[in-house]
A and B are shown apart, each in its own frame.
Chain A
Amino acid sequence: MLTAAHALQRHYRNSPDRPALHLQFSRQPDTTVTYADLIRGAAGCARALESAGIEPGEVVVLILQHGEPLVFAFFGAILRGAIPSIMPFLTEKLSPEKYRQDLAALIAATRPAAIITYPEFESEARAAMRPDSSVRAILLSPTIAPDPEPTLDSLPGLRRSPDDIVLLQHSSGTTGLQKGVALSHRAVFNQLNCYAKAIRLTADDTIVSWLPLYHDMGLIAGFIMPILGGAPLALMSPFDWVRAPYRLMQAVSQYKGTLSWLPNFAFNFCAQKIRDRDLREAGVDLSSWRAVINCSEPMHFNSHEMFRQRFAPFGLRADALATCYAMAENVFAVTQGGIESPVTVDHVDGRSLLTERVARPVPGGADSLKMLSCGRPLSNTRVRILDDSRHDLPDRHLGEIALQSDCMLIGYYRRDDATAEAFHEGWYLTGDLGYVADGEVYVTGRKKELIIVGGKNVYPQDLERLAENVAGVHAGRVVAFGVFNDETGTEDVVMVAESDTDDEGERERIAEEIRQRVTRGSDVALRRVKVVGAKWMLKTSSGKPARLANREKYLAETVTHDEG
């Protein structure tokens, strides 16, 4: 049984000069990092952690952006036998006070021994620390020198047990940061081995990714799997990609990329916002791309069609589109579709799905709902569909997806309560709704009231808490929910707030302030804020606003309004 450090050591011995990854930057030449470079950089960081008195098994929080320091710090923590956890970097629109609160929440929940960041960020990190903080050292990335001749055998990372924690993964936002998914080396390798088979990964593959490393899809599929698995990776920053989505196509063409993972919205985004000029002038050829895998938010047939049509003239293969259902709690993938054969499209009756909770097949008529299959479970993962009393449902019946595998999380870090809540008789309850047909899994929605925007999990309670601070809005009388937008291919975030005022101008002021507070406090852009009168809100029996019921009410009113 390997650990992550052993896998790195093997590549270092067998092929030190092979590129582990190519880092791409806007307006700068690419930096190629060989396995030797990677080990030297990581070993230097492991030494720095040792000098700072950081022990194996302790958590190290990384607050670094795209670039070599982040790569070296991540694997450096692993070579030290410590546990890396990547914190999303502060964006320009997020307020520093709010970021500090999030960081303080992460520190309180994971009790890290060290933080690695930039000198410019040191004061920010210190400001988030309480007097009795667990953090004993803040290491500054420019002061960490590579170790030119690393002696790996002496590093404690090579003496970790496969059952030790290798890393922590967090969702974003205050709520997400308090629930770190703790994964063992064994779980990660069980996932990588099974997933590599499912996607037929070989050393001839090249992965191209712009995904952030604080998210499971980016961290596992777009970072750890290629680097530990020995398939070269071309990695760009999500900040650069969102401003210039054509860079993804140029990178695939330049490096003859074979595999990429994208959230559903990115299929729409690329199809809509890339100019021919940026493809033609660079001579973009996408024919090497054997799988573009849709993952991490509900996927849509139209998004695939849009992408296929847009990029077919640039060599995109008709069979390249694939799908995957994944979650950090299973390390990454639960299922994979579209590799052996094209993604199955299940034509079902939309009304039956909604009212009877059964996916009845209908001949491919115009009003059928085209469900994209997520494919079959990985060979190590079993999937069940459960009803509300947690009994198994037959094929094509909608219920909660539960799973069991040999690559599950150890638990939510230092959160035994949350871990216990997530499991039922040894099965992990995903909170996702779906059905199984002919052995393939279809995800239709969520049981829990999580919003997913552009592949990023957003907890409605985080947004509601921010909106409640606006004058004129009452605590407990504001809800946030997602509404799917066909054009963007992801959910719009909508908030409804109750206020006592009938004055239109005052209501507009309230709406504007909610927008500003939520954006600055959560990095989530609100598509619509609706201010309603008293007693509009539907409540649960415990007196809390019922998000799903209020979402239905909002949708019903919006449709009537738009038609009228």
Chain B
Amino acid sequence: MLTADITPTLASYIARTVLKQPNRVVADTEPIISSGLIDSFSLVDLALFVEDKFGVRIEDSELNAQTFDTVAQLAALIQQRLA
């Protein structure tokens, strides 16, 4: 799977489920954690979603802006673990 296939799924999940603004465009390179777009209560949801959708586990110690702060970075992390 290419990161280009992963990013739209992540962006759409964030807009619909986390932000509850389905029309909101979440750009691949937009900061999502350091900007507070995803609040800390939703980080665990994001990890559970990634696990269900891609079969990849994101550890709780990785749920921070140092590990990934954009949809593109998260997609790269997922792809790396799928490989």
Total A-B contacts with CB atoms under 8 angstroms apart: 53
Instruction: Please tell me if A532 contacts chain B, counting CB pairs below 8 Å.
Output: no
The residues of B that contact A93 with a CB separation of less than 8 Å are: 33-36, 39
| B22-37 at interface with A (beta carbon < 8 Å) | 33-37
Instruction: Please tell me if A519 contacts chain B, counting CB pairs below 8 Å.
Output: yes
| A353-410 at interface with B (beta carbon < 8 Å) | none
Q: Mark A512-539, 1 if CB is under 8 A from B, else 0.
A: 0000100110010101100000000000
CA A527 to CA B44, docked complex, whole Å: 17
Judging by beta carbons under 8 Å apart, are A27 and B61 in contact? Answer: yes
Instruction: Please tell me if A282 contacts chain B, counting CB pairs below 8 Å.
Output: no
Instruction: Please tell me if B40 contacts chain A, counting CB pairs below 8 Å.
Output: yes
Instruction: Please tell me if B4 contacts chain A, counting CB pairs below 8 Å.
Output: no
The residues of A that contact B47 with a CB separation of less than 8 Å are: 243
Q: Mark B46-61, 1 if CB is under 8 A from A, else 0.
A: 0110000000000111
| A49-95 at interface with B (beta carbon < 8 Å) | 91-94
- Check A519/B44 contact, CB under 8 A, given A243-B60, A244-B60, A527-B20: no
The residues of A that contact B39 with a CB separation of less than 8 Å are: 93, 519, 525
Judging by beta carbons under 8 Å apart, are B34 and A92 in contact? Answer: yes
Q: Mark A258-283, 1 if CB is under 8 A from B, else 0.
A: 00000000000100010100000000
The residues of B that contact A245 with a CB separation of less than 8 Å are: 44
Judging by beta carbons under 8 Å apart, are B64 and A92 in contact? Answer: yes
Judging by beta carbons under 8 Å apart, are B41 and A242 in contact? Answer: yes
Instruction: Please tell me if A239 contacts chain B, counting CB pairs below 8 Å.
Output: yes
Chain A's closest residue to B63 (CB) is A243
Kindly provide the distance from the CB of A21 to the nearest chain B CB, expressed in whole angstroms.
Answer: 22
Chain B's closest residue to A91 (CB) is B40
Instruction: Please tell me if A157 contacts chain B, counting CB pairs below 8 Å.
Output: no
In the assembled complex, 25 residue pairs joining A and B whose CB atoms fall closer than 8 Å, in A order, are A26-B60, A92-B65, A93-B34, A93-B36, A242-B40, A242-B41, A242-B43, A243-B40, A243-B43, A243-B63, A244-B44, A245-B44, A247-B60, A269-B41, A273-B44, A275-B48, A454-B41, A488-B41, A519-B39, A520-B35, A520-B36, A523-B36, A525-B36, A527-B20, A528-B20
Known: A26-B61, A244-B60, A520-B36. 8 other contacts (CB 8 A): A242-B40, A243-B43, A243-B44, A243-B60, A243-B61, A269-B41, A275-B48, A523-B36
